Structure 1
Amino acid sequence: MESTAPQLIHWTENGEPRSARWRSESGMPPPKRVVIADDTTNADTAYRLACEGTALLWRGDYQNAKQLLQALARRADHKGGGKQRKAKAAKTPATPTEAFHLHRQAQSQRGRTLAMLLILFDADYTIPLRRAPDVKVACNEAYGKGEQPFIASLRELLGLIGAHEWRRNGVMIPALGERIHPHYGVFSPVRGEYVALVNDTPLPPKTQLAFDIGVGTGVLSAVLAKRGVPRVVATDQDPRALSCAKENLALLGVNHQVELVKADLFPEGRAALVVCNPPWVPARPSSPIEYAVYDPDSAMLRGFLAGLKDHLLPGGEGWLILSDLAEHLGLRPRAQLLEWIANNGLRVIDRHDVRPVHGKATDATDPLHAARAAEVTSLWRLAISA
């Protein structure tokens, strides 16, 4: 049986061995080597230690720690850029698939390096450093109630603070005319084009019940409810997503129309409309939080297509919202998707396409620019084959 005991991080300070609980939302194990760092620590020295896998437990001013992290990021980006230029000069240009894997490898290495700057938290989420901000609300939203002191990376804390601001301010959804408030660890609906597809596609006749598979923030359930679907059953496996959706649906005044169910893909029964927006890229996540973006071996996509026939009413439709980015990266050919659709007793009624409007689609410096520039997001209208 797998142990649930908390992981500990160990270090020596003032000649005495010490330890504390280790916390990492990315699933990174506690560093084995830890040194004390403070305002006198040189950025070049800190970067060298971080690259070697030695963590730096910060004991100086909090704002200086943020500046050091920025200095580490600049060094990581400069070194990475240099390596990429040398690689391009040394060999022929990478295929899109190679470019994708090299990019993810570089991002993973960068993340590990920057995660080596650590800070200590008290049990109530107070940070015992000079000029440290009050992060209790942000930590409670992400971690739950504090129980004991722990150590985490400063980079993770900044992510928590950023997520708190997203949650507080919300994301404007034109299709709703309202804001959606994403929680920490729940994918934010910043790609508004897929929401517009669900809002604009004609509903199947007499749709009294719809299923929303993988509810996330609740944005698609809210769109369906606002469009007049009397009842929506929305599922998710992630407690954070279910909590997030519950809050958003209540704020939007449609919680009486939407039932939230913790389930792997489908709820019980059949519906006239079944909507699913699975992660678009068939690759292995490097951390639990990436499961909203990466779908290993297209597992959720294949699961949706395999179960759809058994959860549609006669004449009903399945709406699959999917980007073709994976096709442009060479990770999943279009023929494979069409084969999965046909092999599961389904047919394509229609497809509605839209081009993305996010910044990366026009950023020529992005390593994946060619694929992103060609990307199309589609809503596939699927029905049971005759």
Structure 2
Amino acid sequence: MLAIEKQYVQWHENETLHHARWLSQSNQVPPTRIILVDDKMTADEAYRLACEGTSMLWHGDFHNARQLLQALGRRIDRTNERSEQRKLKKAANKSAANKSVTPKEIPNLFHQQRQMQAQRSRILSRLLLELDAGYISQLRRAPDVSAACTAAFGKLDKAIDETCVLSFRDLQGALGAEGWREKGVPITGLGLSVFPHYGVFAPTRHEYVQLLLDVPLPDTCDVAFDIGTGTGLLAIILAQRGVKQVIATDLNPRALACSNDNFTRLDLSTVQLQQADLFPTDVPLANLIVCNPPWLPAKPSSPLEYAVYDANSTMLRGFLQGAKQHLAKQGEVWLILSDLAEHLQLRSRDELLGWFVDSGLKVKYRLDTRPKHGRSQDNTDPLFAARSAEITSLWCLVPFDS
């Protein structure tokens, strides 16, 4: 479980000052202006207050709070439609009409979308609720959220009867993650499911799985590394393909707990876990090193986004720079990477190939697949031109002297 630095919020209720521990896994700072609201609060008034920076501590019916949050989302969408969204819609119409979007427009559209998403998150996160020690809600019709919150935020201190305040949106995230953890994510082509934990990216896009099943293993493949294992999916595939020893690494304790859970469910005794920033230590050189790094070189805005965004391609470049020295003779590196960043004008193909060369690696071959997810087929998406052209590749890299 991740260590969370304790922060607190305070508010006045019946002329009495109250305080509680502030919980946020989305890196939202503790709110400083909090008012009490209940079922009488209208969506229009709540939207006005949230846009002004006022947080609202909900004292009404639990399901009414959920409906209010949905209503806030609709108002955000309408506002965006009247402002920045007009530019995005114009670009989407050009894409739908098969008109070209200039290279200068694409990165601007990407950054505009991210700014809108960040603003949306800030507004929706201003609806708050209080939970008693043990994550018990006193709201009418409130479900039992204790298991989901304990998994997401850790245990509260019952000895001091510690209460907490969190955004309703973060609570929804915790409940959603609990659902993933219980039901699992079916992996096409493997005939099994993986079970994500809170704060670990769920592999809902897994078109690359078939690439990993089709690609030939190195002639000798006794030891393989899975760098940045997350849920452990790549390590599972390697173990199922008969690799004798798979060492999976991750820096995130939540990912290590998640992948260990998945390995245990499948009784994979050949997989070892190690907490490490990229490569494991005190282990043999690998015949095969695999990595599926974050695909987009942009700054993450929350812990979960670290699986998608890699500021300045730091992880990708660090992986490439260190791979050769951890590779056994005749070993291979499998890099799984989408070219969406190239279509968004965030990184060029020449830049990527240059990093290969700088790392002492050359391309032995490349296998490609196209995405099948809904957004790649949606011609109303402002970034449809980039998403529809996306290709996910498995790059097989070997040292120059191989």
Residue 286, structure 1, aligned to residue 286, structure 2: no
Map 1:364-379; keep pairs closer than 5 Å.
364-379=379-394
Match of 2:174? Answer: 160
Map 1:89-100; keep pairs closer than 5 Å.
95-100=105-110
Give the Cα separation in 2 of the matches to 1:88 and 1:292. 25
The partner residue of 2:151 within 112, 135, 141 is 141
Which residue identity lines up with residue 103 of structure 1 in the other structure? Q
The partner residue of 1:119 within 101, 123, 129 is 129
Say if 2:218 and 2:331, in contact at 8 Å, map to a contact too: yes
Say if 2:88 and 2:109, in contact at 8 Å, map to a contact too: no
Match of 2:139? Answer: 129
Deviation for aligned residue 1:264 = 0.5
Which residue identity lines up with residue 152 of structure 1 in the other structure? L
Residue 211, structure 1, aligned to residue 225, structure 2: yes
Match of 2:50? Answer: 50
Give the Cα separation in 1 of the matches to 2:5 and 2:263. 36
Deviation for aligned residue 1:169 = 0.5
Say if 1:176 and 1:226, in contact at 8 Å, map to a contact too: no
Give the Cα separation in 2 of the matches to 1:321 and 1:89. 32
Q: Assess, with a 3 A threshold, how the Cα gap between structure 1 residues 280 and 85 changes in structure 2: closer, same or farther.
A: closer
1:310-334 Cα shifts (integer Å, max 9, x gaps): 0111110000000000000110101
Match of 1:59? Answer: 59
Match of 1:28? Answer: 28
Give the Cα separation in 2 of the matches to 1:103 and 1:226. 39
Deviation for aligned residue 1:365 = 2.3
5+ long unaligned stretches in structure 1 = none
Deviation for aligned residue 1:206 = 1.9
Which residue identity lines up with residue 189 of structure 2 in the other structure? A
Match of 1:260? Answer: 273
Which residue identity lines up with residue 314 of structure 1 in the other structure? K
Deviation for aligned residue 1:87 = 4.2
Give the Cα separation in 2 of the matches to 1:334 and 1:5. 41
1:155 aligns to what SS in structure 2? helix
1:192 aligns to what SS in structure 2? coil
2:207 aligns to what SS in structure 1? helix
Aligned pair count?
382
2:84 aligns to what SS in structure 1? helix
Give the Cα separation in 1 of the matches to 2:81 and 2:90. 14
Q: Assess, with a 3 A threshold, how the Cα gap between structure 1 residues 90 and 267 changes in structure 2: closer, same or farther.
A: closer
Match of 1:225? Answer: 239
Q: Assess, with a 3 A threshold, how the Cα gap between structure 1 residues 331 and 124 changes in structure 2: closer, same or farther.
A: same
TM-score, reference length from structure 1? 0.96
Say if 1:175 and 1:223, in contact at 8 Å, map to a contact too: no
Deviation for aligned residue 1:32 = 1.4
Give the Cα separation in 1 of the matches to 2:352 and 2:88. 33
The partner residue of 2:265 within 245, 251, 255 is 251
Q: Assess, with a 3 A threshold, how the Cα gap between structure 1 residues 263 and 23 changes in structure 2: closer, same or farther.
A: same
Give the Cα separation in 1 of the matches to 2:308 and 2:77. 23
Deviation for aligned residue 1:86 = 4.5
Give the Cα separation in 1 of the matches to 2:197 and 2:5. 26
Deviation for aligned residue 1:89 = 9.6
1:45-96 Cα shifts (integer Å, max 9, x gaps): 0000001110000001111111111110100111111113544699998611
- Larger relative contact order (CA 8 Å, sep ≥ 6): 2
Deviation for aligned residue 1:175 = 3.1
Residue 78, structure 1, aligned to residue 89, structure 2: no
Deviation for aligned residue 1:368 = 1.8
Give the Cα separation in 2 of the matches to 1:161 and 1:89. 33
Match of 1:14? Answer: 14
2:41 aligns to what SS in structure 1? coil
Give the Cα separation in 2 of the matches to 1:89 and 1:363. 13
Give the Cα separation in 2 of the matches to 1:309 and 1:378. 20
Match of 2:97? Answer: none
Deviation for aligned residue 1:196 = 1.9
Say if 1:121 and 1:127, in contact at 8 Å, map to a contact too: yes
Which residue identity lines up with residue 200 of structure 2 in the other structure? V
Match of 2:400? Answer: 385
Give the Cα separation in 1 of the matches to 2:75 and 2:319. 43
Give the Cα separation in 1 of the matches to 2:245 and 2:183. 28
Q: Assess, with a 3 A threshold, how the Cα gap between structure 1 residues 240 and 45 changes in structure 2: closer, same or farther.
A: same
Residue 343, structure 1, aligned to residue 353, structure 2: no
Give the Cα separation in 1 of the matches to 2:151 and 2:17. 32
* Cα RMSD, aligned residues only: 1.6
Residue 174, structure 1, aligned to residue 188, structure 2: yes
Say if 1:178 and 1:252, in contact at 8 Å, map to a contact too: no
Q: Assess, with a 3 A threshold, how the Cα gap between structure 1 residues 231 and 362 changes in structure 2: closer, same or farther.
A: same
Q: Assess, with a 3 A threshold, how the Cα gap between structure 1 residues 202 and 5 changes in structure 2: closer, same or farther.
A: closer
Map 1:182-201; keep pairs closer than 5 Å.
182-201=196-215
Say if 2:23 and 2:153, in contact at 8 Å, map to a contact too: no
Say if 2:290 and 2:333, in contact at 8 Å, map to a contact too: yes
Deviation for aligned residue 1:18 = 1.7
